[in-house]
Structure 1
């Protein structure tokens, strides 16, 4: 199955370069339909002509980003050696409220570039 998602510039570049291999999302209805072996086409949020195709190789489901941050390698989740020491689960509040995290849980989607 093919899923469509958009990414802002920095995470798009990180996935395209192969540096980021785990995409973090709310585990809402849309993400609950994703299975290992599915493909995800990520489109650049500011330039729809740019897209990258990935295969889902693993799914990591957690109750919230605090639990996820304690269990996944953050260097694979988009952080760099320069900023990983300051990584904090609250960084994800920019995208997903604590209420939404409590409602749905969260997922780390491990990817392989195609």
Structure 2
């Protein structure tokens, strides 16, 4: 199955370079449809026609973002040197604590398949 998601420029570029191998999301209804072996097409935002296609190689569910960041090496997020509390705070700029409490979190480990700068 193929999924479409948006990704902010810094995370997009880290994934494109191969430094970022884990994407952080809420474990909401949309993400619960993802399975290992599926593909995800990430579109760079806010304004870009660039996309990345990745294969999902692992899915890990956590109750909180803090728990996720404590259990997965920072290098997989391309955040080496960032304290966990800062990583959680930055994630709360995208998702609220209420959303985290309602849905839980999902770490999506990916393998880059293709980067396309003229796809849209």
- Aligned-residue offset at 1:27: 0.6
- Aligned-residue offset at 1:34: 0.3
- Per-residue Cα deviation, 1:6-56 (whole angstroms, up to 9, x for no partner): 111100000000000000001100001000000000001133410010000
TM-score by length of 1: 0.92
**Separation in 2, partners of 1:75, 1:87:** 12
- Shifted more, 89-98 versus 17-26: the winner is 89-98
Q: Between Structure 1 and Structure 2, how many residues are aligned? A: 111
Partner of 2:84: 87
Q: Secondary structure at the match of 1:56?
A: strand
- Aligned-residue offset at 1:112: 0.2
5+ residue gaps, structure 1: none
Partner of 1:41: 41
Partner of 1:57: 57
Work out whether 1:104 is the aligned partner of 2:103. yes
Moved over 4 A (4+): none
When the two chains are superposed, the root-mean-square deviation of aligned CA atoms in Å is 1.1
TM-score by length of 2: 0.87
**Separation in 1, partners of 2:77, 2:102:** 22
Q: Secondary structure at the match of 2:49?
A: strand
5+ residue gaps, structure 2: 114-120
